[in-house]
Amino acid sequence: MAIRGRFIRETGPGAQTGECPAAINPMGPRRSQFGNNDPIEDDEGNISTMASNTPFTLKWGIMATGWIADAFTRDLLTNPTTTRGVHDVRHEVVAVASSSAKERAEEFLVKIKAPSSAKAYGSYHELVADPEIDIIYVATPHSHHFQNAMLALEAGKNVLCEKSLTVTASQAHKLVDKAKEKNVFFMEAVWTRYQPISIKIRELIQSGVIGPVYRVVADLSFGNDKPDGTVSFADTNRMVNPDLAGGALLDLGIYSLTWVFQTMYHLQKEKEKPKVVAAVQKYHTGADEATSIIVQWPQHKSQGIALTSLRLATGVDKENTGGPAIRIQGSGGEIHVTGPAYRPLQYKVIRSDAGGKIETVDFSIPKDPERDDWGHGMFWEADECARCIRDGKKESESMPWEESLVIMEVMDEALKQGGVTYPDLITTDVFDAQSPLNTGKR
Ligand SMILES: NC(=O)C1=CN([C@@H]2O[C@H](COP(=O)(O)OP(=O)(O)OC[C@H]3O[C@@H](n4cnc5c(N)ncnc54)[C@H](OP(=O)(O)O)[C@@H]3O)[C@@H](O)[C@H]2O)C=CC1
Ligand SMILES: O=C1OC[C@@H](O)[C@H](O)[C@H]1O
C-alpha cells in the first residue's frame, strides 16, 4: 500500500527525521482496518487470499446536487487502487437526483465528469425507486435528513446520511428502528472517523501510549465575524437559517463532539451515558452562533469539552499558531491534533516520560491524477460502506448506531439548555413521503 507524503518528525532531545516506519504506519494495520484481498501465506507456506480477487462494487445513488454531493461523488469516482491502495472494493455512481429539476442533476453529472452510464433524476422519489441502486447517499441540509433518509429506508435501500444525522434525537431513533426493520445498512457520514489519522489516534490511545485519557478539548470554529455585529452568512444560508436547521452546533460542533467521543466514549469498554452542560450564544435568526458543551463521564473520571463558533476561527492562521484544534490529555502525556477537526492532517504525541521529545506525524489526502488530481478524503467512509454491505453488516463499528444516537441526544440537550428551537416541519419524527422536504415543493 502506498504511503503518500507521510513522515514522522521528532523535536526535542534525540530528535530524528525520516520515512514513517511500518510500525507507526499512520494508515494502520492493513487487514484489520482495510480488509483487502492481498495474498496471505500460512505457516506451511501455502498462499491464499482472504476473499475473491474481484473487488466488490457498491452502486450509489446520490440524493441532492449541492456542495458536498459534488465532493463526495468525485471521491467515489477516484481509483481506489491507485489513490489509496484499496483492492477489495470499488464504487459505481448509478444515478443522481435533484429535488427540483432533472436538468440540475444532468448539469451535476457533466460538472463532475461522471461516466455516461450515470442517470439523472428530477425527484428523490425516482432515485429511491431505482432497482440498480444499492445505497443512497443523503446530501441534503440536515433539516431534510430525517424525511429523506426515511424515504430511502422505506424503499429498502441502504443509506449513508450526512451529518448531523437528524435535527432531533427522536428522529435519529426512528431512522435506526427503520433500518433494523428493513434489515439494511445505515450510517451517519462522519467521514473524519474513517480517515487514517483518526484510526491511528484511536489505536495510539488504546495502546496506552498516553495512559488513560481523562480530558479532551476539541474545537471546530469558523471566523465569520463582521464589524456590524452579524456573521458573513446571509440569514437564508443553511449555516444560520433555522428552517434548514442552521447553527454552529449541528454543522460544525458535531466534529468537536466527534473527537470527544471517538477518543473517549467510543473506547469505553462499558459505555456510560454522559452528563451534559452547555452554554449557547444565539444568533438573531434564532440558530446558535456559538456553543460550548461539557460532557462528563463520572464513572470514567473523564470530561470532554466540545467548542464551536461561527464568529471566531479555531486558529489564527493555517499554521495553527493558536494551538491544536484537539487536545487529548492522558495521565502519561498528550496528543495534539492540528485542525480543522473535520479533516486534520497532523498529530503530535507528547509523552511525559520522553524527556521533552515530541513525535510529529503528518498525513496527506491521496489525489487521483486521472481525475484532475481530485481527492477530498471522503472515499474512506465510502469504502467502509462497501465493506459493511459486502459483509452483510448493518452498521459500521467505527460509527455505530448507538453512538450516533448518544451524540444526537447530547446535541438535543445542549440546544434545549440554550433555548434553540426549530420549526415543526423539520423536527417532526413522523414520516411523510409527500413532505415538501421529500418532494422539493418549497
Ligand atoms: N462531510 C462534510 O465534510 C460536509 C458535510 N456537509 C453536510 O451536507 C449537507 C449538505 O450541505 P451542503 O452540500 O453544503 O449544502 P448545499 O446547500 O450546497 O446543498 C444542499 C442540497 O440539498 C438539496 N436541497 C433540497 N431541498 C433544499 C432546500 N430547501 N434548501 C437547500 N437545499 C435543498 C439541493 O439539491 P437538489 O435541489 O438538487 O436536490 C441542494 O443542492 C449538510 O447536512 C451538511 O452538514 C456539508 C459540507 C461538508
Ligand atoms: O461538514 C462540514 O465540514 C466542512 C464545513 O465547511 C461545512 O460547513 C460542514 O458542513
Average pLDDT rounded to a whole number, residues 235-248: 98
Predicted local confidence at residue 319, as pLDDT:
61
For ligand 2, mutation pick of 142, 233, 251 (most atoms within 8 Å of CB): 251
Q: Which contiguous run of DSSP H or E holds residue 197?
A: helix 196-206
Distance 313 CA to ligand 2 centre (A): 13
- Using CA atoms, how far apart are residues 169 and 250, in angstroms rounded to an integer? 12
pLDDT of residue 52: 63
Grid cell listed for 284: 438573531
Mean pLDDT of 384-409: 98
Q: Is the CB of 251 under 6 A from ligand 2?
A: yes
Q: Is 401 in the pocket of ligand 2 (CB under 6 A)?
A: no
CA of 419 to the centre of ligand 2 (A): 24
Out of 48-62, 142-156, 229-243, which region has the weakest mean confidence (pLDDT)? 48-62
Summarize pLDDT for 287-296 with one digit per residue, the tens.
999 999 999 9
Return contacts of 293-297, CB within 8 angstroms, 24+ apart. Answer: 293/249, 293/253, 293/256, 293/257, 293/410, 293/414, 295/257, 295/260, 295/410, 297/264, 297/265, 297/268, 297/272
Q: Are 305 and 326 in contact (CB under 8 A)?
A: no
The predicted-structure confidence for 297-320, as pLDDT tens digits, reads as follows 999 999 999 999 999 999 876 666
The string of pLDDT tens digits covering residues 106-128 is 999 999 999 999 999 999 999 99
Determine the pLDDT at residue 17.
Answer: 29
342 CB under 6 A from ligand 2? yes
The bound ligand whose nearest atom lies closest to the alpha carbon of 66 is 1
Phi-psi region of 260 (alpha: psi -120 to 50; beta: other; left: phi over 0): alpha
Which amino acid, 260?
A: V
- Cα 196 to chain center, whole Å? 12
CA of 105 to the centre of ligand 1 (A): 14
The ipTM assigned to this model is: 0.99
Q: Are 209 and 349 in contact (CB under 8 A)?
A: yes
pLDDT at 348 over 50: yes
Determine the angle formed by the axes of helices 254-263 and 196-206, rounding to 10 degrees. Answer: 40
Nearest CA to ligand 2 atom 6: 252
* Ligand 2 atom nearest residue 239's Cα: 8
Looking at residue 79, its pLDDT comes to: 98
Average the pLDDT over 408-423 and give the result.
98
Longest dimension (CA), the chain: 74
Report the C-alpha gap between 119 and 93 in whole angstroms. 9
3-state secondary structure of 339: coil
Q: Which own/partner pairs from 396-399 qualify as long-range (CB within 8 Å, at least 24 positions apart)?
A: 396/187, 398/193, 398/194, 398/199, 398/262, 398/266, 399/187, 399/188, 399/190, 399/193
**pLDDT confidence band for 356 (50 / 70 / 90):** confident
The whole-number pLDDT of residue 3 equals 31
Give the integer Cα–Cα distance in Å for 91 and 98.
21
Residues with a CB atom less than 6 Å from ligand 1: 64-69, 98-100, 104, 139-142, 144, 162-163, 189, 191, 238, 244, 251, 342, 440, 442
Between 10-14, 210-214, 228-232, 402-406, the lowest mean confidence (pLDDT) is in 10-14
109 by Cβ neighbours in 10 Å (0-12 / 13-18 / 19+) ranks as buried
Q: Which ligand is nearest to the CA of 237?
A: 1
| C-beta of 222 in contact with ligand 2 (< 6 A) | no
